[in-house]
Every structure is written in C-alpha cells, then in structure tokens.
Amino acid sequence: MTQAEEARAGEGASTARIAYTAPPIDTSSVVQRLSRLDRFLPLWIFAAMAIGIALGRAFPGLGSALDRFQVAGVSVPIGIGLLWMMYPVLAKVRYESIGAHIADRKLLGTSLVLNWIIGPIVMFVLAWLLLPDLPHYRDGLVLIGLARCIAMVLIWNSLACGSAELAAVLVALNSVFQILTYSVLGWLFLTVVPHWLGADTTALHVSMWQIAKSVLLFLGLPLVAGYLTRRTLVASRGEVWYNDRFIPRVGPMALVGLLYTIVLMFAMQGTRILQLPMDVLRIAIPLVIYFFIMFGLAFTLSKKLGFSYAETASLSFTAAGNNFELAIAVAIATFGIASGEALAAVVGPLIEVPALIGLVYVSLWAGKRYFQTPVATG
C-alpha cells in the first residue's frame, strides 16, 4: 500500500475504495503511440476545411440546397453528420461500470465538482474576459465548456498511463450527466448569469427547451443507440469480441462523421472564415488557457486529496477534455450552421489535440516527479 493510500485509509471513510491500477509509466514518444488517425487529426480537420471552402466556391448555391430539407431546424445532411459522429463515441462507453464504482464518493465527487461546476465556470470567465466584443464566439466557447469529455479522453488517459477502469467510469458518468444537465446549464450560462452580471443579452434568444431539443436529438438518440448496441452485442458475442473486433471497426467512423460535418459547415461559411483569421486566433487563445488551467487544477487537487498517480491522471484528463462533437451539434441545431457559435465549436478540436498531447508529456513528467509509486495497488 502506498503512503497516499495509507493516509486515505486512516480517514475513516464509510466506504471501501476500489483500487485503480495503471501500467508502469511509459515515456516513449506519445505521438508515436497514437493511431495514425488520431496523430494527424488537426491535418484531417484542416483538409476538411479546405475541401469545404473549395466546394462552397465551386457551388455557390450549396448552402441554400443544404438548408432546403430540415428536421428540428437542422438541415438533414448536417443532422446525419452530427448523429454519425456521436454514435461510435457513445458505443465505446462502458455504461455498466458506473454501478460498480459509484460507492467511491470522494473520487467521483471530486470528478463531478471539477467537470460540472469548476469547468463551466472557468470557460465562462475566460470567454467573457477574452472575447467581450465577440458574443457569438463567446457563447460558442461556453457551449464547449459545458460539454464534458467522453470517449476521446480515453486516448489521452491511456497515453498518460492513467487508470483505464476509472476513466471508463468517469466517461460513462459524464455521458449520463450531459443528458440530465446540459440544457439547464446552457440556459443558465448563456442567459441567466450574463443577465445577473448586467450584460447585454438582447442579441441572444435561446431557451432551455431549444438546447434540450438539440441535446435529446444529437446526444440522447446516439446514447440510447450506443447503450443498446453495447448491451446487445456484449450479451450475444462477448465483451472481448465487442472491444477487440466491433469497436475498432466502428470507432473511426466518428472521425469520418466529424470531417463530413466540417466539410459541409465550411462549404456554407468558408469564405467568411477566410476573411476573419484573427477571429479564429482569438477563439484559440482562451481554449489553450482553459486546457492548461483545468489540467493543472485537477492534477494539483487530486494530488492534495491523496489520490494515486493513475487516479490523478484520469481525473485530470477528464476535467481538461471536452465533448466537441456535442458542442458542435448543439451550436448548429440551436444557432445555425453559419453561426459564430458553430465556428467556435469547430475550432475546438483543432486546439485540443496538440494541447492534450502536450499535457500527456506534462502528466508523465509530474508523475515521475511527485509520485514515488505511480501505480495504485490494492
């Protein structure tokens, strides 16, 4: 038992803690351990942007054609892309792991506070401080701050030698919480809090139900589909087959859906984006600051609370990561595909990948420096 665990054992906690294990810290190149798809994600996104802009210039009427057929205020081709990119992500989530680990109130409580209280507040403050004159981009960042991490964080957690079991629990928990709280928090941080602060919100007309419809459609449907897929196939074919055969085939389709959606978005507003390169830079700055603040805060807090390195890494990456697919879906469904909110959401994955790769290196370094025994044992 490590010193940290001995300290926690002496606290007289009412529930027994579950031991989360991690492999020995591997300091080999983080980039090399990424799959080719994940390693070059920023490149794929830039390529999708370029293709979209080229299509928009070649076919000026493409935007109006895409908007001709709509469901719930979203063009059908865009809606297909949004559902396409969400389903594989949610099919990876181990929903059954929530019940087995829910008794660890201290650890899960720390995660909930970081993800659902501190994270949204940090992004809200950064957005209002750094984008006071760009309300649409600012609101797009707020939507990102409310969309807590799901499956993509498992990659960063694995690279940083965090606990795979704990990360799966936190991802499943965040998926459920997003259904329950995203629309309420969206309405709160986009309309109520700015009004309390005396800010002008006359340019924003969004209700809780508008956001709730987007969440239920583009998170609720794929979440139910992902849950049923996992439950049915694991029962009939086994978990090993599901994780080793099914997920590797379906997982990359999330990236395809994301790139398809970005192509259509930039086909509709690419010309405007080319005229505003400084706006994209201004969106990127608060995002970078946000990633490092949330990671540093979560890592420091977890260390002070006596969690092991494996637990600390998992808590830190789930706190720093975001569900950009959901933010993009809600921004498009609520504000429109050509909105500033949608553009801000699309910039997110461009910044997240290099930023979190950097944080993996930071985590590995901090694990060696501040944790004498980086693997939690029973």
Query: Which residue in 67, 93, 89 sits closest to 78, CA to CA?
Result: 67
Q: What's the longest Cα–Cα distance across the chain?
A: 69
Q: Quick: pLDDT tens for 146-158.
A: 998 866 687 788 7
The pLDDT of residue 268 is 73
Q: Quick: pLDDT tens for 265-287.
A: 778 766 666 777 788 899 999 99
The pLDDT of residue 41 is 72
Task: Work out the pLDDT band at 234, boundaries 50, 70, 90.
Answer: very high
For 102-106, 185-189, 209-213, 337-341, which range has the lowest pLDDT when averaged over its residues? 209-213
Say yes or no to pLDDT of 230 above 50: yes
Query: Which residue in 85, 195, 90, 194 sits closest to 142, CA to CA?
Result: 194
Would you say domain 35-370 falls under CATH 3.50.50.60? no
Residue 81 to residue 253: CA distance in whole angstroms: 10
Mean pLDDT of the chain: 80
The pLDDT of residue 203 is 46
The pLDDT of residue 348 is 83
Q: Quick: pLDDT tens for 160-174.
A: 888 877 887 888 788
Under a CB-based contact definition with an 8 Å cutoff, are residues 273 and 265 in contact?
Answer: no
Under a CB-based contact definition with an 8 Å cutoff, are residues 215 and 183 in contact?
Answer: yes
In terms of DSSP H, where are the helices of 276-339? Answer: 277-304, 309-320, 324-335
Query: Which residue in 244, 219, 217, 246 sits closest to 230, CA to CA?
Result: 246
Query: Which residue in 118, 120, 96 sits closest to 188, CA to CA?
Result: 120
Mean pLDDT of 38-42: 71
Mean pLDDT of 82-106: 76
Residue 336 to residue 73: CA distance in whole angstroms: 8
